[in-house]
């Protein structure tokens, strides 16, 4: 096996043929097929060597440095001679495991994204945060990449390449990062593709700049021109490999008039073969991945509905058979205009090739048998992040690495190829129920909070749109570096990844809600319902309940306007498989630990937060209907007021 080149005068372009085998290829023949701009091509030709992957197995081979290596410490030498060790990577039986030396690098920093161009944007500009130009930094980045052994691959954005072509350029010793990105987006064999490859996105990975230029912080820079360029100056894939591509999709949709929703989607098949398709949105930690999971059961098979945080009382359910699940997407739903044909229902397809699944809630064997079996006996190599693994062992999704002694990392992840997920639904689906999930804190008379959501709220479309503008990040978010205070993830809950304007995205979402006349909109809490600790059980049970009801309308005596109008309608009763839910799970003000007065204090907190966030959308370019809806909220509108602003079929 030839070694990677070490001389710039004799730089080579390599194409992986078989695991551990490389053969020399012509520079021109490979690079011409990539159809990249001249300065990028010159940088690649200057590099020590370039490995061009044609399939995901090629990237798996270099994840630890080479096919023969079973471990690697990803490190970089800084100009002062210091060696910075970033990641420990080991090859395991069911894939590759990577652990970051710094606990800070194990979650996404919500302030890491910067924009380095003059196109319209509400985001922080690179020039506003740093006193040096990005153009000079871009040149420095290219010079650094040109002094490395590189790994590159081509991929398509969105299922079937609906959103265009892209290229990733990484240092070869960060092969685990390339492998993760390749899992998430797929790998195109540039030698066999039967059309012209025309990249609209290029991702560059240059980890040591985090230390030399950015005081150790995660930074991802977007530069939008004829080509959308993303510069990832860190090795956690969340902000760049995952959300960076998402940002490029959002930007493209902003130009063309469509949305990539921050959602999961699942076809729910009842025991009577009725199919209802759910689309679940929400900020990070809002239950998107969990919407694709079966309810977690206790050892005796019962479902733990909740535990009272004050009295320690527990409520359980016995449901022998829950609905079958056919997953559609896990985090990003492409709402491309070419998919829309069913009037009244939004059509979406998966925008990814693999799923970036958080498993912090899986703390022991038997919590989620389906996911455990899928990952333990994986038919394809997986990427594990923030897991306690050993070289040559098996990655186990409940073995989470510790951030410090006795404190486990809150963001363990596994990247799972979509094609190995059982019963996955290919192609597009039409959405019947569009839900929004929010992490709720505990609420009590001693500690009033915004944790006042009942188990299920029915929202008029106008109110459902407002929730997506505000997108509360919620209680104890495990996915990001956070202060713990209530904050907003912004429009669509995808605003942290967007490079453009809030008002444009607000208008695009409003158009979806105007056209979604046959869709039902709901609001679901997780973690807590008032004083009760629930985890994700509310959304699992609501999913089954609504699927079994099918498209039946709620009668007037089944719902009542919520005590807080922002919560739409509350249910008066809910029966699941013959079991009646206690009223205090549906209407939190009836909980003895809370009562009307404490509920109203929580409503004041929530309403004040909504008012603060919605004022940011008052702009001359906001759709007049959108302005009317926001004005309704600021004026203390009732549920009926929201109902009258946009029609819906409840």
Dump pLDDT digits (tens) for 217-233: 999 999 999 999 999 99
Length reported for the chain? 650
Going along the chain from its start, the domains and CATH numbers come out as: 8-64+106-256 (3.40.449.10), 259-353+420-645 (3.90.228.20)
Cα separation, 377 vs 295, in Å, equals 21
pLDDT averaged over the chain? 91
CA distance 177 to 170: 8
- pLDDT, residue 174, reads 97
Whether the per-residue pLDDT at 303 is higher than 70: the answer is: yes
Sign of CA dihedral 284, 538, 278, 472: negative
Question: 353-405, pLDDT tens digit by residue?
Answer: 999 999 998 999 998 899 999 999 999 999 999 999 999 999 999 999 999 99
The Cα-based distances of 353 to 157, 336, 400, 569 in angstroms read 9, 17, 25, 37
pLDDT recorded at residue 478: 66
CB 96 within 8 A of CB 90: yes
CB atoms within 10 A of CB 116: 20
User: What is the percent of the chain where pLDDT is above 90?
Assistant: 84
Model pLDDT, residue 342: 72
Tell me the average pLDDT across 78-84: 95
DSSP structural state of residue 508: H
What residues contact 359, with CB distance under 8 A and at least 6 apart?
Answer: 371, 397, 398, 400, 412, 413, 414
Angle at the Cα of 257 (from 252 to 259), degrees rounded to 5? 70
Summarised one tens digit per residue, pLDDT across range 460-476 is 999 999 999 999 987 77
What is the pLDDT confidence band of residue 479, given thresholds at 50, 70 and 90?
Answer: low
pLDDT computed for residue 477 by the predictor: 66
pLDDT exceeds 60 at position 22: no
User: How high is the pLDDT of residue 552?
Assistant: 77
Contact 192, 212 (CB under 8 A): no
**DSSP letters spanning 132-178:** S-HHHHHHHHHHHHHTSEEEEEEEESSGGGTT-EEEEEEEGGGHHHH
**Which pLDDT does position 55 carry in this prediction?**
95
Q: Check residue 578 and give its pLDDT.
A: 86
Inter-residue contact 153 to 59 (CB < 8 Å): yes
pLDDT greater at residue 482 or residue 70: 70
Q: What does the pLDDT look like over 534-585, one tens digit per residue?
A: 999 999 999 999 999 987 788 888 999 999 999 999 999 999 888 899 999 9
Mean pLDDT, residues 150-163 taken together: 89
Q: What band does 649 get if pLDDT is binned at 50, 70 and 90? A: very low
Long-range contacts, stretch 25-33, CB < 8 angstroms, 24+ apart: 25/52, 30/190, 33/190, 33/191, 33/193, 33/197
pTM for the model stands at 0.91
* Residue found under tokens 């909980």: 591
Distance CA 447, CA 444 (A): 5
Q: Which uninterrupted H or E stretch holds 475?
A: none
Average pLDDT over residues 245-270: 96
Give yes or no for residue 589 having a pLDDT over 70. yes
């Amino acid at each position: 096996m030839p070694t990677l080149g070490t001389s710039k005068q004799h730089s080579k372009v390599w194409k992986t043929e078989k695991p551990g085998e490389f053969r020399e290829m012509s520079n021109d023949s490979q690079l011409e097929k990539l159809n990249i701009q001249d300065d990028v091509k010159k940088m690649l030709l200057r590099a020590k060597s370039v490995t061009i992957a044609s399939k995901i197995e090629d990237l798996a081979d270099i994840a630890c440095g080479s096919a023969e290596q079973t471990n690697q410490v990803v490190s970089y030498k800084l100009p002062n001679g210091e060696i910075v060790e970033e990641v420990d990577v080991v090859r395991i039986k069911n894939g590759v495991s990577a652990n970051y030396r710094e606990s800070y690098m194990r979650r996404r920093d919500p302030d890491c994204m910067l924009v380095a161009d003059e196109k319209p944007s509400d985001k922080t500009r690179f020039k506003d945060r740093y006193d040096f130009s990005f153009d000079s930094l871009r040149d420095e980045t290219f010079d650094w990449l040109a002094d490395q052994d590189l790994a590159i691959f081509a991929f398509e954005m969105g299922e079937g390449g609906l959103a265009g072509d892209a290229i990733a350029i990484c240092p070869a010793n960060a092969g685990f990062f390339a492998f993760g990105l390749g899992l998430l987006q797929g790998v195109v064999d540039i030698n066999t593709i039967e059309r012209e490859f025309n990249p609209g996105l290029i991702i560059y990975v240059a980890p040591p700049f985090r230390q030399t230029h950015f005081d150790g912080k995660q930074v991802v820079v977007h530069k939008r021109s004829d080509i959308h360029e993303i510069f990832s100056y860190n090795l956690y894939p969340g902000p760049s490999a995952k959300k960076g591509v998402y940002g490029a999709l959002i930007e493209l949709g902003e130009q063309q008039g469509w949305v990539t929703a921050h959602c999961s989607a699942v076809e729910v098949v009842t025991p009577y073969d009725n199919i209802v398709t759910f689309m679940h949105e929400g900020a990070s930690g809002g239950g998107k991945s969990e919407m694709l999971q079966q309810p977690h059961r206790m050892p005796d098979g019962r479902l733990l509905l909740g535990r009272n945080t004050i009295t320690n009382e527990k409520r359980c359910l016995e449901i022998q058979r829950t609905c079958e699940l056919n997953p559609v997407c896990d985090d990003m739903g492409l709402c491309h205009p070419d998919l829309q044909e069913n009037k009244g229902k939004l059509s979406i397809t998966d925008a990814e090739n693999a799923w970036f699944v958080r498993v912090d809630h899986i703390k022991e064997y038997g919590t989620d048998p389906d996911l455990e079996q899928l990952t333990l006996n994986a038919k394809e190599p997986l990427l594990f992040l923030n897991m306690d693994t050993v070289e040559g062992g098996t990655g186990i999704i409940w073995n989470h690495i510790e951030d410090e002694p006795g404190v486990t990392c809150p963001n363990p992840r596994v990247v799972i190829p979509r094609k190995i997920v059982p019963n996955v639904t290919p192609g597009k689906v039409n959405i019947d129920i569009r839900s929004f999930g929010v992490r709720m804190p505990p609420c009590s008379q001693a500690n009033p909070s915004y944790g006042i959501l009942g188990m299920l709220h029915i929202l008029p479309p106008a109110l459902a749109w407002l929730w997506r503008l505000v997108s509360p990040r919620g209680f104890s978010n495990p996915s990001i570096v956070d202060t713990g205070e209530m904050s907003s993830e912004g429009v669509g809950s995808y605003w942290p990844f967007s490079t453009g304007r809030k008002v444009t995205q607000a208008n695009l979402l409003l158009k979806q809600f105007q056209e979604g006349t046959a869709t039902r909109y709901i609001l679901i809490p997780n973690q807590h319902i008032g004083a009760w600790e629930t985890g994700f059980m509310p959304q699992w049970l609501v999913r089954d309940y609504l699927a079994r009801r099918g498209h039946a309308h709620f009668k007037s005596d089944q719902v009542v306007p919520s005590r807080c109008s922002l919560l739409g309608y509350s249910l008066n009763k809910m029966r699941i498989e013959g079991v009646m839910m206690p009223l205090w799970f549906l209407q939190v003000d009836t909980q003895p630990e809370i009562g009307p007065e404490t509920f109203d204090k929580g409503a004041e907190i929530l309403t004040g937060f909504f008012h603060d966030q919605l004022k940011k959308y008052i702009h001359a370019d906001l759709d007049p209907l959108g302005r009317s809806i926001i004005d309704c909220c600021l004026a203390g509108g009732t549920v009926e007021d929201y109902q009258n602003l946009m029609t819906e079929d409840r």
